[in-house]
Structure 1
């Protein structure tokens, strides 16, 4: 069980995307999915609203993306939270997925991750290493064998994602539930 402060941590969206996430989250949850990330990008001409989802067990099928896309599209059509035209993309987080929730740092322990901090800690903004897990509200990374582990407060993390490595690919090909 995660501490309340850690469980509240989420980097799933910001700005206008956070507004959209708040709007669509109940519908996505009612369909049996969790939001991994909502992101609005792609420039001014034709922005893309990307909604990454998964089931609580981490699984996802193309039919799931279609169902969520239809439901979210209908809701966004009515509520119209985004000015102008945009593309809606509902997808899986993929194998080298973003780590956006506290539970992601536990679930993906043992795999390599890249973390970008909001502000430098000890002169560093980017840290890459094997994800050890989460202790309280600190993410623990091992940068290299023989080096001390790095502790990063969840609140200091701006972005984090898994690194595509042979270990991660092998786990994905073996059909392991967490890869």
Structure 2
């Protein structure tokens, strides 16, 4: 059911986002405690603000009420993906070139499963991550998680 809710929500929210030149980053439909949450993460060049999130939330809420894809009560949250935005799509990795990233892999690559450093390049098949002492080439199919990372 979660995948169905996510797919329907995506169909409903994408046209809303396109009107304001916003990007859909991710949709989650999760149960936390006894409550269900439908979370929609959006972004745009320069970042989203509270007005963007409020406008999308209001419009999406109306569309969800009409389509009624979720039985029972849930909380709708529309927000920014934050400073440590997940990287999932080709466009995410392409935009992240030159930025600091944190990557984990399903299996070791060159003896390691965790990489953090500058994303030097991305060619659709592998990432080149320059760490402090080494540079790692990470095949895309081995990536478990990828996100931007804040450097302190």
Tell me which residue corresponds to 1:34.
23
* Over 6 Å off, 4+ runs: none
Q: Say yes or no: does 1:89 pair with 2:77.
A: yes
Distance 1:17 1:160, change over 3 A: farther
Separation of aligned partners in 2, 1:38 and 1:164: 23
Give, in whole Å, the separation in 2 of the partners of 1:114 and 1:42. Answer: 27
Partner of 1:3: none
| Pairs within 5 Å for 1:121-136 | 121-122=108-109, 125-136=113-124
8 Å Cα contact 1:113-1:129 kept in structure 2: yes
Gap runs ≥5 in structure 2: none
How far off is 1:125 after superposition? 4.5
Aligned length: 149
Residue 152 (structure 2) pairs with residue 163 (structure 1): no
- CA distance in 1 between partners of 2:81 and 2:121 (Å): 19
1:94-173 residue pairs with structure 2 within 5 A?
94-117=82-105, 119-122=106-109, 125-145=113-133, 147-153=134-140, 155-166=141-152
Higher relative contact order (CA 8 A, sep 6+): 1
TM-score normalised by L of structure 2: 0.81
Matched residues in 1 for 2:12 and 2:32: separation? 22
Q: Is the 8 A contact 1:47 1:86 kept in 2?
A: yes
Tell me the TM-score normalised to structure 1 length.
0.70
CA RMSD of aligned residues (A): 2.4
